[in-house]
Amino acid sequence: MATRIAMGNNKGGVGKTTVTVRTAEALAALGKRVLVVDMDPQGNSSRRLGVVGDLGKRTISEAIKANTLGAAANSIWPCGWDAEYATRIAVCPSTLALEDRMSEAGVIGAHRRLSIALDGADDGFDYTLFDCPPSLFHLTQLALAAAQYAVGVTEPEYYSIEGALRFRAFVEAQGTNLSNPELSMLGVIAAGYDVRKPAHLGQLEALPETFGDLLWQPTIPVRTAIQDADESQGPLLAQRTDGGREARALFGQLAERLIKATS
């Protein structure tokens, strides 16, 4: 089984998808095989990994609905990027139809359906990363029930940090209720800091006290290359600027941190 990690925050727009996709890219560049499971019905990580067009019934929504062992195998797509290491990245994509799974939230045992769908399906990967929606409800709970670890992602802003703290508290309190008592917080990644914003610098300084040892280094600054890679639905590798090279190096360090934390 792959090492499964849920990336989350109770707030949107804090860099969850960016960090998930770029960490997957960096892990693949280091030789690891990575499955990204898009648990946000917005489908942003699916698109950013180049999985576009008609997905038919091969999305993570159908795999969860199936409620059978290994059903996710039928929903695994290759990453659409033109890069050698992209062959080591695969995606269980989502569409807006993933919202339909919310109606099952009250069904006994429904929180285990993603875990069941992945068992046997992600054996060929070193890591499975879940890109969570900005909520702590059913779709995030499916990911937390399937994962060994959770990683918080936050911008250095008051409301984003509050969202990360709610995510951490939820992870630490609800493992047993999610049939996953071993679930634990692995780290917190601070991303999207903007040196032109005095508030960011102040919050950045306070983060080590807020998250203690959970806070991973390095933090990720705002860079045009990161947004351009996201918008073009391609790899950071294609961003041949100083900012692109810097971002690749920083995510490479985060990927090494993740490997160290899980081995």
> Applying CB under 6 A, which residues contact ligand ADP?
12-18, 44, 134, 191-192, 220, 222-223, 226-227, 230
User: Which among 97, 108, 37, 123 is positioned nearest to 67, based on CA atoms?
Assistant: 108
- CB of 133: closest distance to ligand ADP in angstroms? 8
Q: Is 46 near Mg ion (CB under 5 A)?
A: no
Looking at the chain, how many residues does it have?
263
Q: Is 47 near Mg ion (CB under 5 A)?
A: no
30 is in the binding site of which of Mg ion, ligand ADP, none (Cβ under 5 to 8 A by kind)?
A: none
- CB of 176: closest distance to ligand ADP in angstroms? 27
Please identify, using beta-carbon distances, which residue of 45 and 203 lies nearer to Mg ion: 45
Please identify, using beta-carbon distances, which residue of 39 and 121 lies nearer to ligand ADP: 39
15 is in the binding site of which of Mg ion, ligand ADP, none (Cβ under 5 to 8 A by kind)?
A: ligand ADP
Residue 28 Cα to chain centre, angstroms = 14
Helix or strand run (H / E) with residue 253: helix 242-262
- CB of 245: closest distance to ligand ADP in angstroms? 14
133 is in the binding site of which of ligand ADP, Mg ion, none (Cβ under 5 to 8 A by kind)?
A: none
Rounded CA gap, 38 and 60, in Å?
7
Q: Which amino acid is at 175?
A: G
Q: CA angle at residue 121 from 119 to 122, to 5 degrees? A: 90
Rounded CA gap, 46 and 121, in Å?
18
Residue nearest to Mg ion (CB): 17
Rounded CA gap, 109 and 164, in Å?
26
- CB of 179: closest distance to ligand ADP in angstroms? 26
- CB of 197: closest distance to ligand ADP in angstroms? 13
Residues with Cβ within 8 Å of 148's Cβ and at least 6 positions away in sequence, in order, are 3, 4, 5, 182, 183, 184
- CB of 86: closest distance to Mg ion in angstroms? 20
Residue 151 and residue 124 in contact, taking contact as beta carbons nearer than 8 Å: no
18 is in the binding site of which of ligand ADP, Mg ion, none (Cβ under 5 to 8 A by kind)?
A: ligand ADP
Q: What is the CA radius of gyration of the chain?
A: 17
Pick one of 11, 16, 113, 223: the residue that binds Mg ion (CB under 5 A).
16
Residue 15 and residue 45 in contact, taking contact as beta carbons nearer than 8 Å: no
Max intra-chain CA distance, the chain: 51
192 is in the binding site of which of ligand ADP, Mg ion, none (Cβ under 5 to 8 A by kind)?
A: ligand ADP
203 is in the binding site of which of Mg ion, ligand ADP, none (Cβ under 5 to 8 A by kind)?
A: none
Q: Which residues bind Mg ion (CB under 5 A)?
A: 16-17, 44
